[in-house]
Structure 1
Amino acid sequence: MPRQPRPTPVQRTAEILSLDPAGAYHRLVLRAEDSAASVSPGHFAALAIGGRDSAMLLRRAFSIHRADPAAGTIELVFAEHGRGTRALAGHRPGDTVDLIAPLGTPFPLPDGPVGAVLVGGGYGSAPLFALAERILDRGGRVGFVLGAATADRLFGVGLARSLTRHVAVVTDDGSYGARGRVTEPLAAMIRELGATEVHSCGPMPMLKAVTGIATAEGARSHTAVEEAMACGIGICMTCVLPVVGKDGVTRFLRSCTSGPVFDGARVRWDDAGTLPPDLEGADAMHPGRESAR
């Protein structure tokens, strides 16, 4: 599946058109005419929160739920995790935020019809609905597996059911859908659709498990990682993951530029957050280790 051309990100002051609750989350609509037409599913946006005098120096990165080029808008879904997102949730329509978008590498889009299963954990499902629409527009088939800890932390169940009858919903506590994890109905969904692609977004352990099942079922796994990003533009190197290249060599790749969408089979999930000894350049990063050169 071909990668999409990388658009030029635009920095702008974006007006908040609406900010509404969505279960346990918030749905934010921004006016962003310069960016909306360039968004593909899987792109993300980075927001500066608090103004020039704020102590919150780092931007916050959010997956783009959908973009409407005709209306010139971008929609984001976010949860309140810390000081920055709590401050963002306190904004009102008419307020403005400093926005950079679109950023990152999106999901690859098929040239023709394919069968695909889309797996979302919590509000990680946000970018998957626009992706499903693109696949359907190309004559493909889609199914959804959506999961969360509790019913209020699901996102987009109604949207999924408006797109396809192939929808499985699970919660850890059984408060909505079946009790369990997204991995449990996944293999059956892949077989039911004859899917060759599995697209997922959510916590890292979920992405690892989804990749394992997709690979075992003969499907390719495209994963949008939820790695913390400090700059969002590839400068700071805080969001690196160990990824095996086509040449078999493991390198650190930046989630904000090479990702957030990666071929899940090439990510070394168990080594995330570590410095693998066989990583290219690891000798120089391990003081006292004798170089292999």
Structure 2
Amino acid sequence: MTDVPGVQGPVHVEAEVVATRRIGGYRHLTLTAPGVPERFRAGNFVAVTVAGHVARRALWVHRVRASSSFGPTLDVVVEARGSGTEWIAAQPVGARVALTGPLGRPFALPKDAVSCLLVGEGYAAAPLFPLAERLRERGCAVSLLVSAPDEARLLAALEARRSARSVTVLTADGSVGVRGTVAEHVDDLLARSEADVVYAAGPTPVLRAAAGAAERAGAWSQVAVEVPAPCGTGLCHGCPLPVVGEDGVERVVRACADGPVVRGDRVRWDSL
């Protein structure tokens, strides 16, 4: 794998909502945020200041466009799960929000054209879509597994088919695609794809299942961990992530600054 080269630091800007649409169980927002799309790399996230709240809300970036009628834009996917995300999801076209980004460590890309399996669930699968584009540009064979509890919370299944060589869709209730969970199917999919690298984004059980499958198959894995990130910059130390360092010593790092992307075999899953 390549080392992640230095990335220009994040910027704090006033972003504008230029499009908003409801797709299934999620709200998709398109934002102009000067300087952020130009700095973005797959796996980065942005943090939005919410009116009436001290803590900001971290959002995955689903797509970046270098040019549009509004200039460079970025798309985020919001699942309204509390007052903060409800406020963000309710912002109309023309609204302006304070946004900081891009934040966090992105996915590292392979040096060579290898086979890759991307595993994601729900809205948190968002960072896998720009990652798939980068991998394809490098000549990698990309297989994609997208899952959700039900059809309404399945992210961009049609878009997935344009992003990968092969796509497997799972829903826990069987409403679309194959019935089942990532844990039940990932070993078989990894064997069939003959992937050298596994990338995963989603809830902790999905990440753990993908990382475990990669370890059993002798593949390299990277996971985009999602934990609450009150500041998004690492200053508040409010997003502890238990890991094992290269030296074998257990420690706690900051998910927003030392992650969110980390090696799957380094996470102390039982502690998380």
Offset at residue 74 of structure 1 (A): 1.2
- CA–CA distance in structure 1, aligned partners of residues 182 and 146 of structure 2: 7
- CA–CA distance in structure 1, aligned partners of residues 137 and 187 of structure 2: 25
- Counterpart in 1 of 2:190? 190
SS in 2 for 1:159: helix
| TM-score, length basis structure 2 | 0.95
How many pairs does the alignment contain?
A: 268
- Counterpart in 1 of 2:15? 14
- Counterpart in 1 of 2:55? 58
- Counterpart in 2 of 1:257? 257
- Counterpart in 2 of 1:46? 47
- CA–CA distance in structure 1, aligned partners of residues 37 and 195 of structure 2: 30
- CA–CA distance in structure 1, aligned partners of residues 73 and 255 of structure 2: 25
- Counterpart in 2 of 1:222? 222
- Counterpart in 2 of 1:284? none
Offset at residue 158 of structure 1 (A): 0.7
Map 1:239-254 onto structure 2 (within 5 A): 239-254=239-254
- CA–CA distance in structure 2, aligned partners of residues 163 and 83 of structure 1: 33
- Counterpart in 2 of 1:234? 234
In structure 2, stretches of 5+ residues that fail to align are none
Greater C-alpha radius of gyration: 1
Map 1:1-293 onto structure 2 (within 5 A): 1-2=1-2, 3-50=4-51, 54=52, 56-70=53-67, 71-272=71-272
Cα pair 1:33 1:69 within 8 Å, conserved: no
SS in 2 for 1:84: helix
In structure 1, stretches of 5+ residues that fail to align are 273-293
The amino acid of 1:14's aligned partner reads: A
SS in 1 for 2:162: helix
- CA–CA distance in structure 2, aligned partners of residues 195 and 63 of structure 1: 25
Cα pair 1:122 1:148 within 8 Å, conserved: yes
- CA–CA distance in structure 1, aligned partners of residues 20 and 83 of structure 2: 17
SS in 2 for 1:270: coil
Q: Alpha-carbon deviations, 1:111-169, whole Å to 9, x = none?
A: 22111111011111111011011111111101111111111110011111112341111
- CA–CA distance in structure 2, aligned partners of residues 128 and 159 of structure 1: 11
Cα pair 2:117 2:145 within 8 Å, conserved: yes
SS in 2 for 1:269: coil
Aligned structure 1 segments of 4 or more residues deviating by more than 6 angstroms: none
- CA–CA distance in structure 1, aligned partners of residues 176 and 192 of structure 2: 22
| TM-score, length basis structure 1 | 0.89
